[in-house]
Structure 1
Amino acid sequence: MKKEFKDSVSKAVHNATLTTALGKFSEAYKVNRAKAYEGIDFEALRQNIADRKAFAASHIDLLAASFKIKAEALGAKVFLADSPDKVKEYILKVARDNNVKSVVKSKSMASEEIHLNDFLIKNGMSVKETDLGEWIIQLAGQKPSHMVMPAIHMTKEEVAELFGKEVHERLTTDIPRLVEVARKELRSKFLEADMGITGGNLAVAETGSIVLVTNEGNARMVTTLPKIHIALVGIEKFVEKFEDIVPILTALPRSATAQLLTSYCSIITGPVENTDGSMKQLHIILMDNRRTEMSHDVKFKQAMQCIRCGSCLNVCPIFRLVGGHVFGSVYTGGIGTILTAWFEALQNSEDIQGLCIQCGNCKEVCPGKLDIPDMILEIRRRLVVDKGQSLTQKAIFSVVNNRKLFHSMLRAASITGKPFTSGGFIRHLPFFLSELTEGRSLPAIAAEPFRDRFKKIKQPKLKEKAAFYAGCLIDFAYPEMGESLIKILNKAGIEVIFPQDQTCCGAPARYNGAYEVAGNNAVDNITALLKEDVKYVVSACPTCTVALEHEFIATLESLGRTDWIPQAKKLAEKTVDFSTLVKKLVDEGRLSFRQGQKLGSFTYHDSCHLRRTLKVFEQPRELLQKAGYQLTEMFECDMCCGMGGSYSIKLPEISAPILQRKLANIKNTGASIVAMDCPGCVMQIGGGLHQDGAPIKVKHTLELLVDQVEGK
């Protein structure tokens, strides 16, 4: 990452005003959004939206032609523009033909995308934003930090200062007074304006209508008072039928600001008369700017389903720490990374794509069913294809994927790390490695890895067999977890085998865009894990489980290695995470719990891959409570701990405060144990609590169950 980018991240993270404001909003949003969706089947609603928007994206040319016919029949003028320059040329011509001197605008991300304001001002026009948030950032000379709430990053003190300079008056932070100032200043601009420019939330092909959704009513003033109205609409806003707007208008306010309804919904179908009896000029510009190309791309066409609600920003643990300006462009957050890569250039997303920690929060709440994390991985893949792997990446992956060399180095590290090890943790590292132990201790490399210990474990010969996929952390840092898993499965009558040829699951390579490396990892593991006929392939690491169950197939498909797909699917069918398998064995009566035990209080941290991809969250809680532990849920139990694999190494300035927030939530429960099903989270949270000195045990679920379950 470029130094300037890293500096902007550091500056944002250390801006207490910014992080506090965004943190409070994020907390309130989650609660209010849940209330707003009460009584609504969100999954059914968003599937409805996704289906309608996907249809529109697949029939853009047809819908554009239909829209143009209907709108022009009503008296509008429709212009299809394939580039930002053509949009600006068209608007400038309309302005000059009508001697336009002053322009008022309602909120339009499409106009921000093409930097329309600067262009019109350079050509001699006065341009005034009338959305309150947009007017604030216009006065501040900034870009929007959020698609829906462009000035969310600013305090009322900063706004009061800006407004005071505009009206030459010293203003207090009294919000009603600030709103009064804005109303007074903007009202005259509406009345004086020669032209009004809006965006469009939806464009209905069936009727030639533009739908505008606002909370302040300014769009109605912009569209009615000036004699010329220009609507600039990206072609991703198309829907086929008028009835298609209903599910979108149901989801948009609830997802954007957790409101049941927006204050104003304007549907413009053809021009109307001006106050002097003349007909208003209505110009509708349908802007492409690579959107058609996006709709034809097999990976990115789903981005056309976005309804621009901004919910992906509202739940993003990274956005609430750094805000929108770190993303450096008009569109921010996860969806902004994708749009920047398309509307500007792939290389413009090179730094900002690294902000994504792959927690999956955005995917879970998106009303258009966009898989934003997967699209960001595709951006990383294309960047690697375009530029190649960095020298650092090549060096790391060449070691990790040379199994003998990698294992030898880890064994050596267990010896060289001893001077820095105490109580199973490395608290401080010397020299340039010191950053790795800022805010958390690291687990010591095991003196004897699990793969060596396994050879010494005596198991009964049992008919049913399961292959254990350990992953790197259990193998080399937490071998005792592997031993506990074997004991539990043995009690259920399952013999565990450990294929020695298993290697890295490929997640580090895949998440860094090195799909060729990840593909080789997939093939090596498929070969190793299917060598023997087993009923289950069990993993106690959700990241690894997701790799085996989902990502091997996806990676091999993307590489065109179709000959391995049948074997990858066979492996996926056998793969199961630890808690799901144990819950199944308990339900079948093959495992039971010791009765009458009271084992103390615990709180549970949901690891991102387990909860969001594997949809596993009830099983571990139920198992632990049946074992005799008392559950106290923590606040934001399903929020990322900041580990993110190599993320905590690449962006420790972001990872560390996310971890500190998680530690505070754990300590606030008063629980003596925090449980989780991910060794990566154990490493992050355990290391954080070790440096913190808090007397809270950090345990993988299997470690808490091993002595509490019994066989038949």
Structure 2
Amino acid sequence: MKREFKESITRAVNNANLTGALGKFSEAYKVNRAKAYEGMDFEALRGTIADRKAYAASHLDEMAERFTANAEAAGAKVFRTSDPAAVKEYILKVARENGVKSVVKSKSMATEEIHLNAFLEANGIEVGETDLGEWIIQLAGQKPSHMVMPAIHMTKEEVAELFSKEVDERLSSDIPRLVEVARQELRSKFLKAEMGISGGNIAVADTGSIVLMTNEGNARLVTTLPKVHIALVGIEKFVEKFEDVVPVLTALPRSATAQLLTSYVSIITGPTENDDGSRKELHIILMDNRRSEMARDPKFKQALQCIRCGSCLNVCPIFRLVGGHVFGSVYTGGIGTILTAWFEELKKSDDIQGLCIQCGNCKEVCPGKLDIPEMIMEIRRRLVAEQGTSLAQKAIFGVVNNRKLFHGMLRAASIAGKAFTSGSFIRHLPLFLSDLTETRSLPAIAAEPFRDRFARIEQPKGCPEKAVFYAGCLIDFAYPEMGASLVKILNKAGIEVVFPQEQTCCGAPALYNGAWDVAAQNAADNIDALRADEATYVVSACPTCTVALNHEFGKTLETAGRTEWLEKAKVLAEKTVDFSTLVKRLVDAGRLTLKEGNELGKITYHDSCHLKRTLRVSEEPRELLQKAGYQVAEMFECDTCCGMGGSYSMKLPEISAPILQRKLHNIKETGAPLVAMDCPGCVLQIRGGFDREGSKVEVRHTAELLAEQVE
């Protein structure tokens, strides 16, 4: 990442006003959104939206032709173009033909996308934003930090300062007074403007209608008071039929601001009369700007299902810390990363794509069913394909792809690291490595890796079932006790455990850095080593590795052109199961018994991102721990990322550290002396964080706790 970009991150995370405002909103949003969707089938609703938006996106030319015919039949003038410059020239031409000197605008991200305000002002036309948030950032000389709430990053005190300068009066931060000032100032703009410019939340092909959703009523004034109205609409806003409007109207306010509905819904079909009896000019500009190209791309066509609610920003742990001015260009957050790569250019997303920690929160709440993390991964892949990898990454991946060399270096690190090891932790590292232990301790490399320890474990003979254990690097070389616990539990259920010595890195580090060829080789090596066709199960106690085995290997190999491995990858995926799911099945089937009557005290549980959001596992470990005798006390934001993100915590420690601190605080607030989790990466992050601050809270993998209670 560029130095200036890293500096902007540091400034953002140390801005107490910014992180405070975004933090309070995100906390309230999650609770209020849940209430807003109470009694509704969100999955069914977003399935409907995704289907209807996907249909429109795959028939863009047809939608545009039908919309144009119907809108023009109703009296509107429709202009369609792929060129943002042509959009601006068209608007300027209409303005000059009508003697326009003053324009009022309602909130429109499409106009932000083409930098319309600066263009009009450079041509002598006064532009007034009338959405309260947009007016605030216009006065501040900033760009929106959120698609729905453009001034969410600003405090009421900062707004009062801006308004005071605008009206030349010392104003307090009393919100009703500030709103009154805004109303007074904006009213004159509405009355003198000769042209109103709006966007459009929805464009209905069958009726030629534009649908606008607002909370302040300014859009109605923008579209009715001036004699000329121009609506700039991206062609991704199409739906086919009028009935398709209802699902979007239902989901957008609930997802955007956790409201049941917006204050105003305006449906514009053709021009209306002005006060003097003349007919208003209504111009509708259908802007492409690479949207048609996106619709033809199999990896990114789903992005056109976005309804611009901003819910992906509202739940993003990174956006909550850095805000939109760091995490985006015109469009911000995860979806902003994708739109920046398309509407501007791929290399413009180079820095911001690295902000995504791949926690999957956004995918879970998106009403358009966009897989934003997957698309960001594809951006990374294309950036690597276009720009190549750095020398440092090439060296690292070269080592990882050589199993013997990789494992040999880990063994050597166990010996070399003794000088920096205290107990089971590395608390200080020298020179340029010192940052790695600044906010958390690191686990010492085990003196004996699991692969060596496994050979001494006696297993039951003649078992009818065989489980291949995929340990992953952390369990193998840092936490062998977790692996031993898993073997003990499965043996108790009458399952023989096999540990192929040839298994190596699952490829996640390479994959998440865009190096798909490297990840594909890791996949092929592991498929060959694990021999899933000879096993009843392939089990892992690391969710990231489990996801790699049963979700990523096939896609990675196919993308890399290694199709000869696809059938074996499919067999491996079908056999792969995470630890807690398998143990829950065994307990339910009566094949595994946990000691009864135990009262082991209170614990809390942290959900790892991959386990809950990709593997859809959250209740199983809790039920197992309760059966074992633990009282599970739920922590606040139990399923929010701990900030580990694999190599993310090393690349962006300034973001990882405050996320970790929030997680540690939430754990301690439960009063539980012990926190359980199913991910060794989360154990590394959270255990290291507690050790660094000297806390006595114990951090354990679920497998370790259950192994102590099996009969």
TM-score class normalised by the smaller sequence? over 0.9
> Which residue in the other structure is 1:588 paired with?
589
> Which residue in the other structure is 1:440 paired with?
440
Once residues 670 and 469 of structure 1 are traced to their aligned partners in structure 2, the CA distance between those partners, rounded to angstroms, is 34
Contact 2:533 2:572 in 1 (8 A): no
1:692-707 mapped onto 2 (5 Å cutoff): 692-707=693-708
Once residues 505 and 83 of structure 2 are traced to their aligned partners in structure 1, the CA distance between those partners, rounded to angstroms, is 45
Deviation at 1:679, TM superposition (A): 0.2
> Which residue in the other structure is 1:501 paired with?
502
1:305-324 mapped onto 2 (5 Å cutoff): 305-324=305-324
> Which residue in the other structure is 1:364 paired with?
364
**What is the aligned length?**
710
Contact 2:57 2:295 in 1 (8 A): yes
1:558-707 mapped onto 2 (5 Å cutoff): 558-707=559-708
Once residues 96 and 327 of structure 1 are traced to their aligned partners in structure 2, the CA distance between those partners, rounded to angstroms, is 37
1:120 and 2:123 correspond: no
> Which residue in the other structure is 1:492 paired with?
493
1:81 and 2:85 correspond: no
1:431-580 mapped onto 2 (5 Å cutoff): 431-461=431-461, 462-530=463-531, 533-580=534-581
Residues 10-34 of structure 1: per-residue CA shift (max 9 Å, x gap)? 0000001110110010000000000
Q: One-letter code of the match for 1:558? A: T
> Which residue in the other structure is 1:21 paired with?
21
Once residues 532 and 71 of structure 1 are traced to their aligned partners in structure 2, the CA distance between those partners, rounded to angstroms, is 60
1:381 and 2:381 correspond: yes
Once residues 486 and 71 of structure 1 are traced to their aligned partners in structure 2, the CA distance between those partners, rounded to angstroms, is 68
> Which residue in the other structure is 1:399 paired with?
399
Secondary structure of 1:143's aligned partner: coil
> Which residue in the other structure is 1:8 paired with?
8
> Which residue in the other structure is 1:245 paired with?
245
Deviation at 1:562, TM superposition (A): 2.0
Higher deviation after alignment, 396-405 or 578-587: 396-405
Once residues 376 and 168 of structure 1 are traced to their aligned partners in structure 2, the CA distance between those partners, rounded to angstroms, is 46
1:402-417 mapped onto 2 (5 Å cutoff): 402-417=402-417
> Which residue in the other structure is 2:207 paired with?
207
> Which residue in the other structure is 1:189 paired with?
189
Higher deviation after alignment, 634-643 or 407-416: 407-416
Deviation at 1:428, TM superposition (A): 1.1
Does the C-alpha gap of structure 1 residues 17 and 208 become closer, same or farther in structure 2, counting only changes over 3 Å? Answer: same
Once residues 641 and 463 of structure 1 are traced to their aligned partners in structure 2, the CA distance between those partners, rounded to angstroms, is 39
Deviation at 1:463, TM superposition (A): 2.5
Q: One-letter code of the match for 1:487? A: K
Once residues 532 and 87 of structure 2 are traced to their aligned partners in structure 1, the CA distance between those partners, rounded to angstroms, is 60
Once residues 470 and 361 of structure 1 are traced to their aligned partners in structure 2, the CA distance between those partners, rounded to angstroms, is 26
Deviation at 1:73, TM superposition (A): 0.5
Deviation at 1:327, TM superposition (A): 2.8
1:51-450 mapped onto 2 (5 Å cutoff): 51-450=51-450
Deviation at 1:458, TM superposition (A): 1.5
Contact 2:234 2:286 in 1 (8 A): yes
Once residues 664 and 393 of structure 1 are traced to their aligned partners in structure 2, the CA distance between those partners, rounded to angstroms, is 34
Once residues 619 and 320 of structure 2 are traced to their aligned partners in structure 1, the CA distance between those partners, rounded to angstroms, is 27
Once residues 136 and 153 of structure 2 are traced to their aligned partners in structure 1, the CA distance between those partners, rounded to angstroms, is 11
Secondary structure of 1:325's aligned partner: coil
Does the C-alpha gap of structure 1 residues 594 and 526 become closer, same or farther in structure 2, counting only changes over 3 Å? Answer: same
Deviation at 1:328, TM superposition (A): 4.7
Residues 91-126 of structure 1: per-residue CA shift (max 9 Å, x gap)? 010011111000000000000000000000000000
Once residues 605 and 192 of structure 1 are traced to their aligned partners in structure 2, the CA distance between those partners, rounded to angstroms, is 57
Secondary structure of 1:593's aligned partner: coil
Deviation at 1:532, TM superposition (A): 6.5
Once residues 393 and 334 of structure 1 are traced to their aligned partners in structure 2, the CA distance between those partners, rounded to angstroms, is 24
Secondary structure of 2:662's aligned partner: helix
Contact 2:319 2:327 in 1 (8 A): no
Once residues 400 and 224 of structure 2 are traced to their aligned partners in structure 1, the CA distance between those partners, rounded to angstroms, is 64
Deviation at 1:456, TM superposition (A): 1.6
Deviation at 1:709, TM superposition (A): 1.3
Secondary structure of 1:78's aligned partner: strand
Q: Percent identity?
A: 79
Once residues 518 and 702 of structure 2 are traced to their aligned partners in structure 1, the CA distance between those partners, rounded to angstroms, is 31
Once residues 563 and 77 of structure 2 are traced to their aligned partners in structure 1, the CA distance between those partners, rounded to angstroms, is 50
Deviation at 1:67, TM superposition (A): 0.3
Once residues 234 and 595 of structure 1 are traced to their aligned partners in structure 2, the CA distance between those partners, rounded to angstroms, is 62
Structure 1: unaligned runs, 5 residues or longer: none
Once residues 450 and 537 of structure 1 are traced to their aligned partners in structure 2, the CA distance between those partners, rounded to angstroms, is 17
Secondary structure of 1:326's aligned partner: coil
Contact 2:254 2:261 in 1 (8 A): yes
Once residues 143 and 189 of structure 1 are traced to their aligned partners in structure 2, the CA distance between those partners, rounded to angstroms, is 21
Residues 219-245 of structure 1: per-residue CA shift (max 9 Å, x gap)? 000000000000000000000000000
Question: TM-score, length-normalised on structure 1?
Answer: 0.99
Q: One-letter code of the match for 1:473? A: L
Once residues 562 and 328 of structure 2 are traced to their aligned partners in structure 1, the CA distance between those partners, rounded to angstroms, is 37
Runs of 4+ in 1 over 3 A off after TM superposition: none
Residues 599-624 of structure 1: per-residue CA shift (max 9 Å, x gap)? 11110000000000000000000000
Once residues 255 and 21 of structure 2 are traced to their aligned partners in structure 1, the CA distance between those partners, rounded to angstroms, is 19
> Which residue in the other structure is 1:33 paired with?
33
Higher deviation after alignment, 416-425 or 635-644: 416-425
Deviation at 1:560, TM superposition (A): 2.6
Once residues 35 and 327 of structure 1 are traced to their aligned partners in structure 2, the CA distance between those partners, rounded to angstroms, is 28
Q: One-letter code of the match for 1:198? A: S
Deviation at 1:188, TM superposition (A): 0.8
Contact 2:328 2:337 in 1 (8 A): no
Once residues 636 and 255 of structure 1 are traced to their aligned partners in structure 2, the CA distance between those partners, rounded to angstroms, is 19
Q: One-letter code of the match for 1:476? A: F
Secondary structure of 2:144's aligned partner: coil
Structure 2: unaligned runs, 5 residues or longer: none
Deviation at 1:554, TM superposition (A): 1.0
Once residues 410 and 213 of structure 1 are traced to their aligned partners in structure 2, the CA distance between those partners, rounded to angstroms, is 57
Q: One-letter code of the match for 1:398? A: G
Secondary structure of 2:456's aligned partner: coil
Q: One-letter code of the match for 1:529? A: L
Secondary structure of 2:91's aligned partner: helix
Deviation at 1:408, TM superposition (A): 1.0
Deviation at 1:558, TM superposition (A): 1.4
Contact 2:468 2:532 in 1 (8 A): no
Deviation at 1:678, TM superposition (A): 0.1
Secondary structure of 2:616's aligned partner: coil
Deviation at 1:692, TM superposition (A): 1.4
Q: One-letter code of the match for 1:686? A: R
Once residues 564 and 137 of structure 1 are traced to their aligned partners in structure 2, the CA distance between those partners, rounded to angstroms, is 53
Higher deviation after alignment, 488-497 or 523-532: 523-532
Q: One-letter code of the match for 1:85? A: A
Deviation at 1:531, TM superposition (A): 6.5
